[in-house]
Amino acid sequence: MSGDDRQARVLTGPIPDRPLAFLARYVKARRWLFGALFAAITLAAACAVAVQVGMKLLVDAMASGDRAAVWHPFGFFLALIALESVLWRIGGWLGARAVVASGVDIRVDLFDHLTGHAMRYFREHLVGSVGARVTAAAAATGAILGTLTWNVLPPVVDFVGAVLVLFTVDWRMALALTACVGFVAAVIGGFGMRGRTVHHRYAELASKVGGELVDVVSNVWAVKAFAARRRERDRLAREFGVEAAAQRRSWMYLEKARLLHDLCLWLMAGGMLAWAILLWQRRAITPGDVVLVSALTFRILHGSRDLALALVGMAQQFGAIADTLRVLAAPHALPDQQGARAFRPHGGRIVFEDVGFAYPDGRRVLEHFNLVIEPGQRVGLVGPSGSGKSTLVSLIQRLDDPQQGRILIDGQCLAEVAQDSLREQIAVVPQEVVLFRRSVRDNIRYGRPDASDDEVEAAARHACCHEFIRQLPQGYDTLVGERGATLSGGQRQRIGIARAFLRCAPVLLMDEATSALDSHTEHEVQRALVNLMQDCTVVAVAHRLSTLDRFDRILVLEAGRLVEDGTPAELRARGGAFGRLWRSQQAAASDGAPSASARR
């Protein structure tokens, strides 16, 4: 088996929103591997039926009185058992590759689709619940493929083979067995299908509770800070109780199906065996035929139970997949246009043309907004909360699309270029720097994976974080805790700045990039910013106005409107909104207490 069968396949096209089509997508991706698997299991099940024929031949030979005649049926019987065992092992070997590899494909596909959703999607869904659904979909698909291979296909082959063999004994018995199996499958299958809502409800609650648990663990600091351990424990206990009740209903539904089948098995197996004994008494069939009818009847009726219960279990797993696809496979709110071209930077000129933007809840932020930022300009955005500063930064990255007008960078409409190619040319330092549970070096290098160690260290020096990194236990190879928990806020901020420096992008976006730094470090970083941002366009959101003193231009926003535009000195002299805010912060600083804006 090639290594490719154990690696993730790159599958093109949208993810189907129906469970059956979703399953077929991954079977088709490895059609030859699954084809070999199904062929091996089919032949193994056929051998199992043939083994019963071998037993019949052996019993008839023993009943004939010719003691030497038993060895040929005996050899045939042993050969069939050996062949069946070999085929089952081949099936297991193929299944371990096909099913496991498909699970990798599914998780990669769902992750790829998930990360293509707009940022508002992640604000509307619990991250833990979304992650749990990715794992649940892969597990459910693996369970369905395993059930189909080992619990559905063999009983079907058994049934077809048994009917063909019984036609050689008595055609009436073959027809009777067919009717019995059809009746049992219809009763149990119909009973199981009616329970789909029960299984779907359990899958939905399991994902929800998983998300709730991850949410609480992710915010464990708040739980401890507000002495809420008992309160959160009681709340989760109630959630777990609701989920457990749904799980019990799903479980007991399967038990009812088993009980119903056991009753059918007792009646039908007894009837078929009594019929065979009566035929033997009339000398219409041989003792071997009685053994054959008995063995096949029990095998087929037991197989029908396994088949029916497997179908019920598959309905439960299909419910889990349907729940995942309902949440994860929704169309992207911000898809790339068909044939979108790659973004090509030419200096970083940013233009807003008659832009209008409102959030999904109807709250309008921008209306008929126009703005031109020339290449290489350092532009600061100030204004009260809700004025549109963060919206402008989000639109430049195309994390959202305007409902009106268009945004261009270097003459290219953002809606017409590939999103990833656009963001490759933008460096971002957010207010809350996101770090991965990886080494410090890997976190700095995240925006530019091909950067050398020397380039990483140079970026760290410019961001004033080289010295504290050297003092970490393993220096640049020190593992950062989840979301950077092992570092202080200022240390995380400086690593985020180093990451942006290393990116060397023509457009740099900052949202309170120095908010977590002390005055001394802030001064050093500001000096580094002046040196490093000579050849890029900078757009920075700032509440601490002193950080913008060396910027070329300040934009003051109020309620989505541009109310002031000029250099820091011009706006201070003008005495408008910026001048009032500046004087307020200066007065607060002279009193030794930061203003409300500075504390944000």
| Cα–Cα distance, 581 to 561 (Å, whole number) | 17
Q: Where are the alpha helices (DSSP H) in 534-576?
A: 568-574
d(CA 30, CA 194): 33
In angstroms, how far is CA 467 from the centroid of its own chain?
A: 38
User: Are the C-beta atoms of residues 356 and 388 closer than 8 Å to each other?
Assistant: no
> Which of the listed residues 279, 300, 328 is the one where a domain comes to its end?
328
Domain end call among 504, 529, 552: 504
Q: Tell whether 350 and 227 lie within a shared domain.
A: no
Q: Which residues lie below 8 Å from residue 204, measured CB to CB, with a gap of 6+?
A: 323
Note whether 389 and 291 are same-domain residues.
no
Q: Are residues 430 and 415 in the same domain?
A: no
Q: Are 350 and 549 in contact (CB under 8 A)?
A: no
pLDDT digits (tens, 9 = 90+) for 460-471: 888 888 888 888
CA distance 30 to 48: 27
Q: Does residue 10 lie in a domain region? A: no
Residues 499 and 512 in one domain: no
Q: Is residue 288 part of a domain?
A: yes
Domain extent for 392: 345-419+507-600
Residue at 4 is within a domain: no
Look at residue 358 and tell me if it is in a domain: yes
Looking at the structure, tell me whether residues 578 and 562 fall in a common domain: yes
Q: Phi and psi of 360, rounded to 5°?
A: -55, -25
Residue 487 lies in a domain: yes
Residue closest to 360 by CA, chosen among 123, 115, 116: 123
| Paired sense of beta strands 561-566 and 553-558, if any | antiparallel
The residues facing 561 across adjacent strands are: 558
Specify whether 175 is located in the same domain as 276.
Answer: yes
* Domain boundary pick from 483, 504, 525: 504
Q: Are residues 438 and 522 in the same domain?
A: no
Of all residues in the chain, what percent are helix, strand and coil, respectively (each to 5)?
A: 65, 10, 25
Note whether 107 and 237 are same-domain residues: yes
**One digit per residue, pLDDT tens: the chain, 600 residues?**
444 444 555 566 678 888 888 988 989 988 899 999 999 999 988 888 777 777 777 776 777 666 666 777 778 778 888 888 899 899 989 988 888 888 888 888 888 888 888 877 777 776 667 777 888 888 888 888 988 888 888 888 887 887 787 777 777 777 877 777 777 767 766 766 676 677 667 777 777 787 777 777 767 767 777 777 788 888 888 888 888 888 887 777 777 777 776 777 777 777 777 777 777 777 777 777 677 777 777 777 667 667 766 776 787 788 778 888 888 888 888 888 888 899 998 888 999 999 999 887 778 888 889 999 999 899 999 988 888 888 899 899 998 889 899 999 999 999 999 998 998 899 888 877 878 888 899 989 988 888 899 999 988 888 888 888 888 888 899 888 666 667 877 788 888 888 888 888 889 998 876 665 667 666 766 766 666 677 789 998 887 787 787 788 999 998 888 898 988 888 888 878 888 888 877 776 666 544 433 333
Q: Please report whether residue 7 resides in a domain.
A: no
Residues 414 and 432 in one domain: no
CATH number of the domain bearing residue 354: 3.40.50.300
1 located within any domain: no
Q: What 3 state SS string does 65-134 have?
A: CCHHHHHHHHHHHHHHHHHHHHHHHHHHHHHHHHHHHHHHHHHHHHHHHHHCCCHHHHHHCCHHHHHHHH
Q: What is the CATH number of the domain that holds 78?
A: 1.20.1560.10
User: What is the value of pTM for the model shown?
Assistant: 0.70
Do 391 and 462 reside in the same domain of the chain?
A: no
Based on the fold, state whether residues 469 and 520 are members of the same structural domain.
Answer: no
Looking at the fold, whether 479 and 525 belong to one and the same domain comes out as: no
Q: From its phi and psi, is residue 486 left (phi > 0), alpha (psi between -120 and 50) or beta?
A: alpha
Our count of domains for the chain comes to 3
Which residue has 């053994």 as its token pair?
A: 291
Please check whether residue 339 lies inside any domain of the structure: no
Q: Note whether 540 and 379 are within 8 A (CB).
A: yes
What is the spatial distance between Cα 124 and Cα 132, in angstroms, rounded to a whole number? 16
